[in-house]
C-alpha cells in the first residue's frame, strides 16, 4: 500500500490527502479530482484511511503536499498539530481542512486549519432557497443531533442565517447540554433551546430552517422515538421552510427526507453541503475564488456518483 501510494505521488505535481478512518464511501477525492482536471492541474487528493496521526504528520512534510481534508476521528485531534486556525476553525473547535501558508518573516511552512463544513451548510441553503427572507430569515431554526455536524450547523445558523433562536432536538439530554455549553463558551450559544417533548415543541414558534445531523435509522429506543416525534411537530407546522438532510450515505433518500418532502418542505440533500464545503476547501488550496472553480462540473460528477448508489 505504502509503495503504491509513493508511486502514484511521484507522478503528480502536487498532492493532498483525505485523512480519516472509514472513508471508502467518501466523494471527496472525486470532487477535488473533477476540479483539478478541469483546471488542467496534475494534482490529486489521496485517500489515507488511517488512525495513525504520526504517519500523517510525517507525510505532510513532503514539499509537494498542498493540504488535506480531515475527517473522523481526527477533526479535534489535529488541532494540537496546527500553527493557526481561521475564525471558523476556532469557533467550531474542530477542523476539516488543513492548508499551508508561509511565514513572511522566516519563510517557514505553516500548517493552518479551518472548518469549511459551516460554509457547506450555509451555501446549501442559500444556493437552493430562492427567498431566504420568507423561508428562514429571522425565524427559529432546528438542529437535530448532537455531534460535530450539529455544532457546525449551530454556528452557520447563528453567524450567517439570521436564526432568531435554535431548537436542539436529540435523544440524549447530556449531548444537548454539551452542545449548549461548548457553543456558549465559544461565543455563539445564546438562544439555544433544548426541545425534549412533543408538548414543548407544540408550544414553540414555528421554525424556518432545519438541519438534520443524524444517521438514517428508524427510531428504536423511547428517547429516539420521542426525538423523531418532536421533529415531526416542526415538519407538520403551517410554515414550510427548508430542511438540509446531512446524511447522504449510503443514500440521501432517508426517512427524514421523505417525511420532509411529504410535508411540503424544501428538501436539500446532504451532497449539497458536501459540494460547497469542498469548493471552499479548494479556495484555500488553490488560492482561487469559488466562482473561478468548475462548480457545474462538480455538481454533475457528484450527481452521477449519487445515481450509481441508487441502482
Counting every residue written for the chain, the total comes to 311
Pairing of strands 166-169, 109-114: unpaired
- Among residues 58, 64, 75, 225, the one annotated as catalytic is 75
**Is 299 labeled as catalytic in the residue annotation?**
no
Count Cβ atoms within 10 A of the Cβ of residue 296 and give its class: 0-12 exposed, 13-18 middle, 19 or more buried: exposed
Count the neighbouring beta carbons within 10 Å of the beta carbon of residue 136. 26
Rounded to whole angstroms, the Cα distance separating 88 from 96 reads: 11
- Residue 153 · residue 121 · CB < 8 Å: yes
Cell (9 digits) for 87: 475564525
Q: Give start and end residues of each alpha helix (H) in the chain.
A: 2-10, 28-38, 53-59, 87-92, 117-126, 132-135, 148-159, 173-185, 198-202, 222-235, 255-262, 270-286, 295-310
Q: What is the dihedral of CA 268, 274, 280, 282, to 10 degrees?
A: -150
In the chain, count H helices and then E strands.
Answer: 13, 12
Name which of 13, 17, 21 is nearest 5 in CA terms.
17
Cell (9 digits) for 213: 445531523
* Secondary structure of residue 15 in the 3-state scheme: strand
Rounded to whole angstroms, the Cα distance separating 112 from 225 reads: 41
Count the neighbouring beta carbons within 10 Å of the beta carbon of residue 65. 18
Count Cβ atoms within 10 A of the Cβ of residue 239 and give its class: 0-12 exposed, 13-18 middle, 19 or more buried: middle
Task: Supply the residues annotated as catalytic.
Answer: 75
Amino acid at each position: 500500500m505504502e509503495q503504491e501510494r509513493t508511486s502514484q505521488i511521484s507522478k503528480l505535481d502536487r498532492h493532498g490527502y483525505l485523512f480519516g478512518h472509514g472513508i471508502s464511501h467518501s466523494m471527496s477525492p472525486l470532487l477535488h479530482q473533477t476540479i483539478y482536471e478541469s483546471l488542467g492541474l496534475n494534482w490529486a487528493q489521496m485517500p489515507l484511511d488511517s488512525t495513525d496521526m504520526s504517519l500523517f504528520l510525517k507525510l505532510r512534510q513532503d514539499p509537494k503536499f498542498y493540504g488535506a481534508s480531515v475527517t473522523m476521528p481526527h477533526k479535534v485531534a489535529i488541532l494540537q498539530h496546527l500553527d493557526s486556525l481561521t475564525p471558523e476553525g476556532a469557533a467550531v473547535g474542530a477542523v476539516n481542512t488543513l492548508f499551508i501558508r508561509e511565514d513572511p518573516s522566516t519563510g517557514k511552512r505553516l500548517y493552518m486549519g479551518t472548518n469549511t463544513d459551516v460554509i457547506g451548510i450555509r451555501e446549501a441553503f442559500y444556493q437552493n432557497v430562492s427567498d431566504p427572507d420568507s423561508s428562514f430569515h429571522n425565524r427559529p431554526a432546528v438542529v437535530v443531533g448532537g455531534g460535530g455536524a450539529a455544532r457546525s450547523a449551530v454556528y452557520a445558523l447563528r453567524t450567517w442565517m439570521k436564526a432568531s433562536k435554535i431548537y436542539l432536538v436529540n435523544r440524549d439530554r447530556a449531548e444537548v447540554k454539551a452542545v449548549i455549553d461548548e457553543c456558549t463558551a465559544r461565543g455563539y450559544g445564546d438562544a439555544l433551546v433544548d426541545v425534549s417533548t412533543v408538548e414543548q415543541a407544540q408550544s414553540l414558534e414555528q421554525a424556518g430552517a432545519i438541519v438534520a445531523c443524524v444517521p438514517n435509522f428508524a427510531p428504536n429506543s423511547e428517547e429516539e422515538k420521542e426525538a423523531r416525534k418532536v421533529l415531526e411537530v416542526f415538519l407538520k407546522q403551517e410554515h414550510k421552510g427548508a430542511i438540509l438532510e446531512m446524511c447522504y450515505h449510503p443514500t440521501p433518500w432517508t426517512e427524514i427526507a421523505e417525511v420532509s418532502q411529504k410535508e411540503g418542505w424544501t428538501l436539500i440533500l446532504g451532497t449539497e453541503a458536501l459540494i460547497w464545503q469542498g469548493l471552499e476547501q479548494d479556495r484555500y488550496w488553490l488560492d482561487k475564488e469559488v466562482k473561478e472553480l468548475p462548480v457545474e462540473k462538480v455538481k454533475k460528477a457528484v450527481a452521477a456518483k449519487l445515481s450509481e448508489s441508487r441502482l
